[in-house]
Amino acid sequence: MFFLYATCSKFMCLLLKICLVFHIQSCKIYKNFTNLYKIVMAYFLKLEHQIIIENMLLVGPGSLTVSLITAFFVSIVFTLQIAKEFLYLNASSLIGSILTISFIRELSPVLTSVIIIGRIGSCFTAELATMKVTEQIDALYLLSTDPLWYLVFPRVIACVFMLPMLSFLSFVTSIASSAFICFILYSVDPLIFLSSSFSSLLFSDIVKSFLKTVIFGFTIAFTSCYWGLLAKGGAKGVGKFTTTSVVTSLLLIFILDFILSYYMFDKLDSSIKNL
C-alpha cells in the first residue's frame, strides 16, 4: 500500500513538473508571438495607406479595361487555331478543356503580367526615376522619411494584391469569348464547351495560378522600383532606365513562368483523361 502511494506521488510530481514546463514554454511562445505581432504591426502602420490605395486603383481599375480587351482578342485568336484542329479530329468535347487549361495555367497570368509591365511597371520606373534625378528622393531623407516605406512598398503591395484579381477576370473573359466564338464560327454548343471547361478545371490549378500571379506582381513592382531608384543622367537617364526596367521585367516574368510551371504542373496527371 505504501509502495502504491509512493508511486502515485512520484507520478503526480512528474505530471506537475511536465505541466509547469509546458506552461512556461507556452508563456514564452505567447510572449514571442506577441512581440512578433507588435513588430509586424509597427512596420505595417508605418506604411502610407493612402498611397497604397491610390496605387491599387492605378494597378487594378486603371488597367482593367486594357486587360479585358486584350484577353478577349487574344483568346479569340487562340481559339481559332485550336478549335478547327480538334473539330478535324472530331473531338469538339475537348476544346473547352484544352483552352481552359491553357488560360488558367499560362496565358492569363503571363498576358496580364505583360500588360502590367507595359502600363504600370514603366509608370513606376519613370516616376521614381524622375524623383531621383530631380533629387526628390534626397529630400525624403532630409524629412526623415524612408523612400522604401513611402514609395516602394505601397507599389509592391498594390501589384501583389491586384494582379491576381486582374488575371482571374482575364481568365473569365477568355473563357466567355472562346465559348462565344466557338458557337458563332464552329457551331459548338456553349453547354458542351462550358461543361468540358469546368470538368477539367481543378482547384489546385486556380491556387497555383493565383500563387504565380502573386510572384509575378512582386517581381514586376520590385524590378520597376529598383531601376527607378537607380536612375541618373537627367531626362535621358529616365528614358534609358525605364526601357531597361521593362525589358528586365519581361525577361524575369518569362523565366519565372518556365520555372514555376515546371515545378507546379510537370508532375500532374492529365486533366482530360476522364473526359
Query: DSSP secondary structure string, 149-167?
Result: IIIIHHHHHHHHHHHHHHH
pLDDT of residue 70: 94
Q: What is the DSSP letter of 273?
A: T
pLDDT of residue 110: 95
pLDDT of residue 254: 96
Give Cβ neighbours of residue 50 (< 8 Å, ≥ 6 apart): none
Angle at which helix 203-230 crosses helix 122-133, to 10 degrees, equals 20
Of the candidates 120, 127, 265, 94, the one whose C-alpha atom is nearest the C-alpha of residue 195 is 94
pLDDT of residue 3: 46
pLDDT of residue 2: 46
Grid cell, residue 147, equals 523612400
pLDDT of residue 179: 92
> 100, 199 in Cβ contact below 8 A?
no
Q: Rounded distance, CA 95 to CA 107, Å?
A: 16
Helices (H) and strands (E) in the chain, counts: 12, 0
pLDDT of residue 48: 62
Q: Which residues of 118-154 are buried (b: 16+ CB within 10 A; e: fewer)?
A: eebbbbbbbbbbbbbbeeebeebeeeeeebeebbbbb
pLDDT tens over the chain, length 275 residues:
544 445 545 545 554 555 544 445 545 554 554 555 444 444 454 556 788 888 888 898 889 999 999 999 999 999 998 888 888 888 878 888 899 999 999 999 999 999 999 999 999 999 999 988 888 887 877 777 777 888 889 999 999 999 999 999 999 999 999 999 999 988 888 898 898 888 888 888 899 999 999 999 999 999 999 999 898 888 888 989 999 999 999 999 999 999 999 888 766 656 555 55
Angle at the Cα of 99 (from 96 to 102), degrees rounded to 5?
150
Q: Rounded distance, CA 103 to CA 174, Å?
A: 7
Give Cβ neighbours of residue 139 (< 8 Å, ≥ 6 apart): none
